[in-house]
Amino acid sequence: MRPARDRIVVPVAELRRRPGNRMVLERDVPIGDLATSSAAVPSGVSATLTATLESLSDGVTVVGRIHVPWEGSCRRCLDPCVGELDVDFSEVFSDHPDGGDLLAFSGDAVDLTDAVREAVVLGLPLAPLCREDCAGPEPSAFPVAVESEGAVATRDPRWAALDALRFDPEADDG
Ligand SMILES: [Zn+2]
């Protein structure tokens, strides 16, 4: 559990007095120390959260967007690079949470911390570029395999077994 001051909690008692009530929210929220293998949100920065909350008879829907800066390493030249990210998320808080898509209220409030953090992690670039036309390091420094048509014709015959496999959407081993 993160410290209370770092959590993103929105009181909704007033909103919930009548189904159909709406509330638009815009605030800076703490979000530091989020990282993937390729990019991170710099520690100490805050994200801008905008969200629309709407009251239902038995819950509250939240549709939001987060704007946050990130930093990482260019996938081509490996230089540091930075950018800004906009990610959307939506959640439904319910009086009857189901442990899945329907989340539980936190008293008279909704806690958006996990939704926001998850959306940001999923939105961080997997392969950052310092600029669109980054040429990367000198080609001689990193020899790269070049694909050719011949590579297809001469592929390892053992892979042929994979051709027999078919994806079956009905199959479910879970
Ligand atoms: Zn680069």
- Per-residue pLDDT tens digits for 119-146: 999 999 999 999 889 988 756 555 555 5
Using the mean position of ligand 1's atoms as its centre, give its distance from the Cα of residue 83 in Å: 13
Secondary structure E strands in 32-172: 34-35, 39-41, 46-56, 59-73, 80-94, 102-104, 109-111
Residue 37's pLDDT band (cuts 50, 70, 90): confident
In the prediction, which pLDDT does 167 show?
A: 60
Compute how many other C-beta atoms are within 10 angstroms of the C-beta atom of residue 72: 22
Q: Coil, strand, or helix at residue 88?
A: strand
Is there a domain that residue 133 lies in?
no
pLDDT band, very low/low/confident/very high, at 153 (cuts 50, 70, 90): very low
Helix (H) or strand (E) holding 151: helix 149-153
**Residue 41 located in a structural domain:** yes
Does residue 161 register a pLDDT over 70?
Answer: no
pLDDT at 149 over 80: no
CA of 69 to the centre of ligand 1 (A): 18
> From ligand 1's centre to the CA of 44, what distance in Å?
25
- Examine residue 156 and state whether it is found in any structural domain, yes or no: no
Question: 95 versus 169: which is more confidently predicted?
Answer: 95
Q: How far is the CA of 30 from the centre of ligand 1 (A)?
A: 29
| CA 133 to ligand 1 centroid distance, Å | 8
- Domains in the chain: how many in total? 1
- In a domain, residue 165? The reply is no
Q: Is residue 167 part of a domain?
A: no
In a domain, 158, yes or no: no
114 is in which domain, residue-wise?
4-123
In a domain? residue 144? no
Beta-carbon contacts of 15 under 8 Å, excluding residues fewer than 6 positions away, are: 21, 22, 23, 53, 55, 60
Residue 32 lies in a domain: yes
Ligand 1 being an ion, which residues bring their Cβ within 5 A of it? 74, 76-77, 130, 134
Measure 142 CA to ligand 1 centroid, in angstroms. Answer: 14
Contact 41, 35 (CB under 8 A): yes
